[in-house]
Structure 1
Amino acid sequence: MYESTSIIVTANKKPTEWAKMLEDEVIATALLDRILFRCEIINLTGESYRMENRKTFLDK
């Protein structure tokens, strides 16, 4: 069953910022090593639809 399913992970931090976020470079490196093994990184840029909708929600 190994490598027979897909997992999508989303984050608003770059992998290089995870060590600071987790406050442990060794743990961050080990975690990213396992997550990034045989993966494809898709970097999205531009305006956040989530934040745009949140502003609209808060104005009501």
Structure 2
Amino acid sequence: LYDRSSISLTSKTSPELWGELMGDQGITTAILDRVLHRVEVIHMDGDSYRMKHRKSVFSAEV
């Protein structure tokens, strides 16, 4: 599928910390090298839109 389709990959962990998460820096570097080739990274920082607009399950409403 190389160069024929798109992939959306989301993570709460930044790529810098993936080596620690996966336990092997060499494998992690190889994976990131292939995933990040010809990519557009969109870094979103701030409050969660989903959590901001949800009603709390612990609300006082009965």
> The TM-score by the shorter chain falls in which range?
0.7 to 0.9
Give unpaired runs (5+ residues) of structure 2: none
When normalised by structure 2's length, the TM-score is 0.79
Q: Which has the larger radius of gyration?
A: 2
Which string of whole-angstrom CA distances, capped at 9 and with x for unpartnered residues, describes residues 16-47 of structure 1?
10000001101100110010000000000100
In terms of fraction of residues, the more helix-rich structure is 1
Q: Distance in 2 between matches of 1:11 and 1:29?
A: 16
Q: Report what 1:40 is aligned to.
A: 40
Q: Gapped runs of 5+ residues in structure 1?
A: none
Give the alignment's Cα RMSD to 1 decimal: 1.7
Question: CA shift at 1:48, angstroms?
Answer: 1.2
Normalised by the length of structure 1, the TM-score is 0.81
Whole-Å Cα distance in 2 between the matches of residues 33 and 59 of structure 1?
Answer: 44
Post-superposition, which runs of at least 4 consecutive aligned residues in structure 1 deviate over 3 A? 50-53
Aligned positions of 1:2-21 closer than 5 A: 2-21=2-21
Aligned length: 58
